[in-house]
Amino acid sequence: MNYKQNQTLWISHSAISDFGACPKLYYYKSLYRSSLTNNRIQVASPYLTLGSAVHQALEELSGLPPKERFKASLIKRFEKIWKETAGKKGGFVDLDQEEAFKKRGKKMLKKVQDNPHVIENPSYSSNGSFPKVKLFGDKEIVLVGNIDWVEILPSGGLHIIDFKTGKNEEKQGSLQLPIYLILATYNFERPIEKFSYWYLDKDDGPKTVELEPLQSYIPIIREKALSIEKAIEDGQFTCQSNYRSCFKCREYDNVVRGSAEYVGYDGERGKDLFFVNKNKI
């Protein structure tokens, strides 16, 4: 494996989710590096492309003064971003599939334009840096995350919002907002008063979520981080199916075995990008 002991171990919601779904998937996405380029790898996915383009268009607004956020068309921002990941680079098998996903993205952002709500209110801008929290005093294990939107409420407190581009709602017990609670509490120096998901595919505004106190989540996050650390120390990333691969890690298995098509370098994530034709797996 490519991970070196004593490196900082970065823990995020996606890392925890990947490891829980399949340890081998986590290894491929978070630790494995190409023997040719020493870069990490990413399988191009229409769903990832859609989510990234929508999130990037909205993220660009956070750096603007509230009154200027909708002076330029949000749809045009999206279309400009989309051009960078068209075709196989976006994981699309053909133009029809790409147009269908693009149409979904435009519809979501049209909904935001028509229901600006919190987007026109003052917000906290991270200026490109992700909030971090060291989970243990004696270990280099760091919790990190990219919070989609942080609205500053009239009280001075914060409203944490996570934009969702998928069709399904976040599962009960998800650690995404609890992780954001921890990160925001230790980095933003303001009270966190509200948490929401905004399901852009179906809702006109954010849907409030109630969370437990911060201290109830920290032991859970620490336990999951230690499980990942142990797997790294033991070099054990067996597929959750106990076979060579499962439907969760199979595409990455194809990349590592050399049966995927290289389609470019993703500079934003620092990864080599590959297209896997699901019809041929």
Query: Are 84 and 115 a contacting pair, CB within 8 Å?
Result: no
Q: What is the pLDDT of residue 92?
A: 96
Q: In what order do the strands lie in the sheet with 141-144?
A: 9-11, 141-144, 132-134
Residue 142's region, left for phi above 0, alpha for psi from -120 to 50, else beta, is beta
Average pLDDT over residues 266-277: 91
Q: Where are the beta strands (DSSP E) in the chain?
A: 9-11, 40-43, 132-134, 141-144, 149-152, 158-164, 192-199, 207-208, 261-266, 271-275
Residues β-bridged to residue 134: 142
Query: Are 66 and 77 a contacting pair, CB within 8 Å?
Result: no
Contacts of 81-88 with C-beta under 8 Å, sequence gap 24+, read 81/53, 81/56, 81/57, 82/53, 85/44, 85/49, 85/52, 85/53, 87/263, 88/44, 88/261, 88/263, 88/275
pLDDT level of residue 277 (50, 70, 90 thresholds): confident
Report the SS3 class of residue 208: strand
pLDDT digits (tens, 9 = 90+) for 8-67: 999 999 999 999 999 999 999 999 999 899 999 999 999 999 999 999 999 999 989 999
Average pLDDT over residues 174-190: 95
pLDDT level of residue 233 (50, 70, 90 thresholds): very high
261, two tokens:
């098509």
Query: What is the rounded distance in angstroms from the CA atom of residue 164 to the CA atom of residue 146?
Result: 14
pLDDT digits (tens, 9 = 90+) for 66-116: 999 999 999 999 999 999 999 999 999 999 999 999 999 999 999 999 999
pLDDT digits (tens, 9 = 90+) for 185-216: 999 989 999 999 999 999 999 999 999 999 99
Q: Which amino acid is at 99?
A: E
Phi, psi at 189, each rounded to 5°: 55, 35
> Does the pTM exceed 0.85?
yes
Mean residue pLDDT of the chain comes to 93
Please state which of the ranges 85-94, 191-200, 238-247, 272-281 shows the lowest mean pLDDT.
Answer: 272-281
pLDDT level of residue 1 (50, 70, 90 thresholds): very low
Residues β-bridged to residue 261: 275
Q: What is the pLDDT of residue 162?
A: 97
Say whether pLDDT at 265 is over 90.
Answer: yes
Instruction: Count CB atoms within 10 A of the CB of residue 242.
Output: 7
Query: What is the rounded distance in angstroms from the CA atom of residue 13 to the CA atom of residue 159?
Result: 19
pLDDT digits (tens, 9 = 90+) for 129-170: 789 999 998 899 999 999 999 999 999 999 999 999 999 999
Residues β-bridged to residue 271: 40, 266
